[in-house]
């Protein structure tokens, strides 16, 4: 046997993101994160903050418009619509965070 020096040759390793095939796969059709269209909307709301704020702003404008109409006219229908229009805004937060 020949004698080797006690120093090992150093290998330089390029730092980079590790990718595994299991994490990049799309979930199957039976998975629970969302199925079909609702899952696609949920993922889109998570990834795109502009779309989320746009939807939330539209709902806020509708709520404000009907609340102002109720304040001016005093009718019960605009008040009911203003209160009901809060539910989709809460649902948006549920879709995004769930």
Which among 70, 72, 98, 95 has a CA at the least distance from the CA of 84? 70
Give the model's confidence band at 87: pLDDT under 50 very low, under 70 low, under 90 confident, else very high: very high
26/75: higher pLDDT: 75
Percentage of residues in the chain with pLDDT exceeding 90? 39
pLDDT value of residue 63 = 95
The yes-or-no verdict on residue 25 having pLDDT over 50 is no
Question: Could you tell me the residue range of the domain that residue 68 belongs to?
Answer: 49-98
Q: Is residue 3 part of a domain?
A: no
- Token couple for 55: 């939807």
Q: Is residue 34 part of a domain?
A: no
Map tokens 């039976």 to a residue: 30
- Token couple for 8: 């090992």
| Number of domains forming the structure of the chain | 1
Mean pLDDT of the chain: 78
Q: Is residue 43 part of a domain?
A: no
pLDDT value of residue 46 = 86
pLDDT value of residue 16 = 61
């Amino acid at each position: 046997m020949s004698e080797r020096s006690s120093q090992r040759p150093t290998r330089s390793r390029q730092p980079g993101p590790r990718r595994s095939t299991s994490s990049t796969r799309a979930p199957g059709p039976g998975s629970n994160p969302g199925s079909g269209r609702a899952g696609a909307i949920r993922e889109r709301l998570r990834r795109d903050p502009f779309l989320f704020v746009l939807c939330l702003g539209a709902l806020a404008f509708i709520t404000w418009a009907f609340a102002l109409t109720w304040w001016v006219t005093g009718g019960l229908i605009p008040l009911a619509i203003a209160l009901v229009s809060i539910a989709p805004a809460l649902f948006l937060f549920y879709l995004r965070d769930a």
